[in-house]
Amino acid sequence: MTDNPGFDSDGETKFDEVELGKVSPVKNEKALEVAEEHDGPYAGMRKEDVLKYSSTPSGVVFVGPADSCCYSVGWPSSGPRSVLSLLAPGVYHGGRPRSFTRYIQGPSWTPMVPLMALEISLELPHITYTWYTCITEKMDYIKDLGVGAILLNSIYKSPDRDFGYDVSDLKDVNENFGSIDDFEALLNAAHERDLKVILDFVPNQASLESEMFKDSQLGSGSETENDLNSYVWSDEVPNNWASITYQNLLKELFLFLPYYFQLQDSMEKWFAMGVDGLNIQGTQFLFEGPIHKDEPVNDNYNGEAEGYDSLLHYYTSDYTGVHELLNTWREGIFFRYSTAGTYRLMITDSDTNSTYLGNYYGTDDNPEADLAKNYNLLNIGDVNGDGGRTSGTEIDELLRDWLNALPDGEWPSFQLGSHNARRIASRLSHPYVKVANMLLLTLPGTPICYYGDEIGMKDTMIETYDDVQDIKGKNDQVNWAVKTRDPERGPMQWNDSANAGFSKSEPWLPVADNYNVVNVERQLDQEFSTLGVFKKTVAFRSDNRAFLSTDIQMLEHENDITAYIRSSDEQSERFLVVLSFSDEHMYSDLFNKNNDLPLEGTVRVATDDDREGKAVQLNKLSIFGGEGLIIELH
């Protein structure tokens, strides 16, 4: 038995009667009323209305430097399509070494800049400061890394049952972190240092405390009837759909359609304040198929009987309508706020395969995201954080999987860390952290660095189930150690004082046990520390156009190393990157394995001392285990 217009009394959805990609019939009537009140583009306008104002390319072209990275607190960027316009001046090749060539002028910030992703803690870093204030105080450190933008996870009002991703109001901030004035001060401090601020945007993870949910509960007789189709209410579970995070769903409640007008109004709130872009979380889940259809069983699944991966998600992931919605946002609210000097970046954040990720860029005629995050490199090492190994062959396969799926001319991204994956310093054993960071910072596209990875922070230790904070761990008392995401979310390690200098009171999660050795203060003035190598690799990348193109030439090499050439478009700069994931010293003969290499080169950047500035022979290149070299080719 149901009592809202989106679901009939026989348990059959009316979804098929609504054109996919549009709002519900109730919302369409509202859209017509709103349209009559506007002479030009407006937030929430329908696609057919957007097109009336889209006779010119949906983006503004600017000129600007490409001299930094993105830090996660997050580091994203976007692709070299003329309608995206985020590139530095010059000729850029497409996602693969062949592809097209096009002259493009970039905006005042660029996709080449590394992004830093910052994790918001659930407890204030200092007793007398808000979280926003603490980030503002550390802004000079972030700028000094060489990054160009920071990516913040969910800052929105929330009861905090799922680290702020159970959003109750997308237009307001979580007061546990500070006030809206504190956030605006953070935004201004970043902009004063030419840093951009990008927010996670959470369109389909509403809290039970959200007004939309409460209004939907009131039923068809309420004054808020327009909210009814945001949720479907039923006496019985109409399908076998599963949840990634919550194994025990409310039986009465199933999200039907995203609330588009509220979403676009929320976007407008942050863009008007000066936020530079949005990372759209869970992009693949924006639409669901017919409510009454079960998803087929995954015959290849060997895990828990009712786990999320036990089903093939034909109706709940990357369903029809996702791309139309992204295009509507791109040509609507994002375009409208992308005025000179204020380009608004759209990133999609979807844990799906590379083919689907590539589709999120859209086409020249129907552009969508500027940048699609990909998580291939999170598979490097031991995914449980037990200090594993990788090989050059494995890395090559992960790189090719994404680059081959990337549409011609689009701008890729890579990242080693995330708040949903064990840290790279724990997935790999200690000697390989610096070389892993060099990999990230020398690949084409935008490097996204998770906070603390620049100093080689390891996972924090969660001793017992009672210590678990993460809802995924709390929901499984048997497998909590595997399910919890707490280890990768530990406090930033600033120095060797109590609580690693993160807070004066006990932090919400324990600091890693090696914080007295691995911290910012200890590494700050050491050229060949993990932090020192990170910073000089970022600087070298920024100073050499070869690393600002999308060209990469993968070379033949021994199994335990990876090697590739980065070159500028006119081939005036060519650099060979050699990264060893071996556990022993070796001599590599790259010269005779590849036709495009000279016999000699000069080391410009190295992970260890006594190599930089020295000539090396490429037919007998000496390289130690865990060593990385950037070699200028003569």
Least confident of 60-74, 341-355, 394-408, 601-615: 60-74
pLDDT digits (tens, 9 = 90+) for 303-356: 666 677 888 888 888 888 889 999 999 999 999 998 756 789 999 988 777 877
Contact indicator for 290, 254 with CB cutoff of 8 Å? no
What is the structure's pLDDT at 226?
55
Mean pLDDT over residues 148-177, rounded? 86
pLDDT digits (tens, 9 = 90+) for 6-64: 444 443 333 333 333 332 222 223 333 433 444 443 333 333 333 333 332 222 111 22
What is the Cα–Cα distance from 413 to 371, expressed in whole angstroms?
7
What is the Cα–Cα distance from 167 to 146, expressed in whole angstroms?
32
Amino acid at site 167: V
CA dihedral 254, 258, 263, 264 (to 10 degrees): -170
The DSSP line for 245-290 is S-SS--TTEEE-S--HHHHHHHHHHHHHHT--EEEEETGGGS----
Mean pLDDT over residues 190-201, rounded? 93
Closest CA to 119 of 135, 103, 130: 135
Please enumerate in sequence order all residues whose Cβ is within 8 A of that of 37, keeping only pairs 6 or more positions apart, or say none. none
R_g over Cα of the chain: 25
CA dihedral 451, 452, 457, 458 (to 10 degrees): -10
What is the Cα–Cα distance from 70 to 413, expressed in whole angstroms?
10
∠ CA 500-502-504, nearest 5°, is 100
Query: Do β-strands 628-633 and 600-606 pair in parallel, antiparallel, or remain unpaired?
Result: antiparallel
- Copy the structure tokens of residue 271: 């863009």
Least confident of 167-176, 314-323, 358-367, 416-425: 314-323
Confidence of residue 230 (pLDDT cuts 50, 70, 90): low
Mean pLDDT over residues 568-588, rounded? 92
At residue 553, φ and ψ (nearest 5 deg) are -110, 105
What is the structure's pLDDT at 305?
62
What is the structure's pLDDT at 218?
67
What is the structure's pLDDT at 30?
33
What is the Cα–Cα distance from 238 to 242, expressed in whole angstroms?
12
**In percent, how much of the chain has pLDDT > 90?**
44
Closest CA to 73 of 143, 157, 159: 143
pLDDT digits (tens, 9 = 90+) for 273-286: 999 999 998 888 88
The DSSP line for 197-213 is EEEEE-TT-B-TTSHHH
At residue 603, φ and ψ (nearest 5 deg) are -70, 125
Least confident of 251-260, 425-434, 576-585: 251-260
What is the Cα–Cα distance from 339 to 355, expressed in whole angstroms?
32
Domain annotation for the chain: domains and CATH numbers: 69-204+348-356+371-523 (3.20.20.80), 553-633 (2.60.40.1180)
Alpha helices in 433-502 (DSSP H): 433-442, 471-474, 480-483
DSSP-derived 3-state class of residue 71: strand
pTM: 0.80
Residues paired with 324 in a beta bridge: none
Please enumerate in sequence order all residues whose Cβ is within 8 A of that of 608, keeping only pairs 6 or more positions apart, or say none. 528, 624, 627
What is the structure's pLDDT at 63?
20
pLDDT digits (tens, 9 = 90+) for 442-485: 999 989 999 999 999 999 999 999 999 988 898 889 999 999 99
What is the Cα–Cα distance from 579 to 10, expressed in whole angstroms?
62
What is the Cα–Cα distance from 403 to 346, expressed in whole angstroms?
20
Higher pLDDT, 310 or 261: 310
Residues paired with 173 in a beta bridge: 156
Mean pLDDT of the chain: 76
Closest CA to 601 of 573, 580, 626, 579: 573
Query: Do β-strands 600-606 and 615-617 pair in parallel, antiparallel, or remain unpaired?
Result: antiparallel
What is the structure's pLDDT at 259?
64
CB-based burial label for 344 (10 Å; 0-12, 13-18, 19+): buried
